[in-house]
Amino acid sequence: MPASTTSWSCPRCRQRQNIRTSSLGMIRRCQACGHKVRVSQFLLLKQAVGKLIGTGITVAVLGLVCNWLFCSSRPRNDDGQFANNATAPVPAPGTGNDAAAKEEQAQSSREKAEQEAQAIAEAEKAEADRLEQERKDKAEKLQAETERLKREYRQALAAYEADKKLRMARTLANDAALERAKGKQSESERLVEKARERFREILDAYPDTQAAADAQELLDGKNPPPRPALQAPKPLPSSAELQREPSSGSSSKSTYDPMSPSPGEARQEPSSGNLSKPVHVSGYTRKDGTQMRPYDRAAPGQGKRR
């Protein structure tokens, strides 16, 4: 690996020579004049400072010479002052007003953009609030409609069950009359008491139904006319069906009717209270598309035996 070197100048002959860095502080002989000099860091620093001073003096002298040459070539006025040939730039007419107008226009554009952005944000917020309010209103209406349908379904189911039990109780009463006609007084009284128990059960379990009113009349010794048999209520529609139904019509209420018969369901005509009469079944369409004509269905125990 080569050793690092540095240069130094002989104080006598000013001849620059190279010396190894490891030889600093030793006495060296100048190769040009043979003068012996102790080459140290102080000597190198003193020579570097002297070189910088000499360079600075040279630059200053050159600057003065250039300035003298430049000044001697410039014309002078009568009073000995230098003539100023360069004219100051004259701003074009309206230049300052145009810059102010542009700045004002830019500021106005920024304010307008901020106002438009604020208006858009307010409109989006208002639309979001409106949609949220519509969703809440729709949920409340759906909840109210669901509660109304549940209430109607419970009422229809109670009326159906009460009507079914009343028909069974009236059948017991009719059987008691038949047993009385046959001379079986004890059996007739037993059936009458059983029928009256059924009437009281209807009054306790279904007090707000038409069957309960008829049962009360029968307990009082009256004979109200038999009413048409009620059909079992339809199941409640699902939430999805409730949401679809209002859009199919102008009314906001559901078209669900718990007492309306389903397609293909047999419809019984009003009977006179005698369960031995045939039942009329209206025509309907099966799920497979088969068209069924109206017919009369025989009462239980009255049909032909195979």
Task: Render pLDDT for 192-205 as a digit per residue (tens, 0 to 9).
Answer: 899 889 989 999 99
pLDDT band at 99 (very low <50, low <70, confident <90, very high): confident
Residue from 61, 24, 27 nearest 41 by CA: 24
Evaluate if residue 85 carries a pLDDT over 90.
no
State how far the Cα of 198 lies from the Cα of 170, in Å rounded to an integer. 9
Predicted pLDDT at 242: 66
Contacts of 281 (CB under 8 A, 6+ apart): 266, 267, 268, 294, 295, 296, 297
Residue of 237, 197, 234 whose CA lies nearest to 218: 197
Per-residue pLDDT, 94: 54
Please state the pTM of the whole predicted model.
0.43
Percent of the chain with pLDDT over 90: 15
Domain boundaries, the chain: 5-73, 146-260
Q: Of 85-94, 146-155, 291-300, where does mean pLDDT reach its minimum?
A: 85-94
CB atoms under 10 Å from CB of 164, counted, come to 14
Amino acid of residue 137: D
Backbone φ and ψ for 38, nearest 5 degrees, come out as -85, 110
For 49-63, 72-86, 133-147, 260-274, which range has the lowest pLDDT when averaged over its residues?
260-274
Residue 197's pLDDT is 92
| Between 237 and 200, the higher pLDDT residue | 200
The rounded percent of the chain whose pLDDT value lies above 70 is 74
| Confidence at residue 264, expressed as pLDDT on a 0 to 100 scale | 45
pLDDT of residue 271: 42
Residue-wise pLDDT tens digits, 269-303: 444 444 456 667 777 777 777 777 777 777 555 55
The predicted structure's pLDDT at residue 95? 57
Q: What is the pLDDT of residue 301?
A: 54
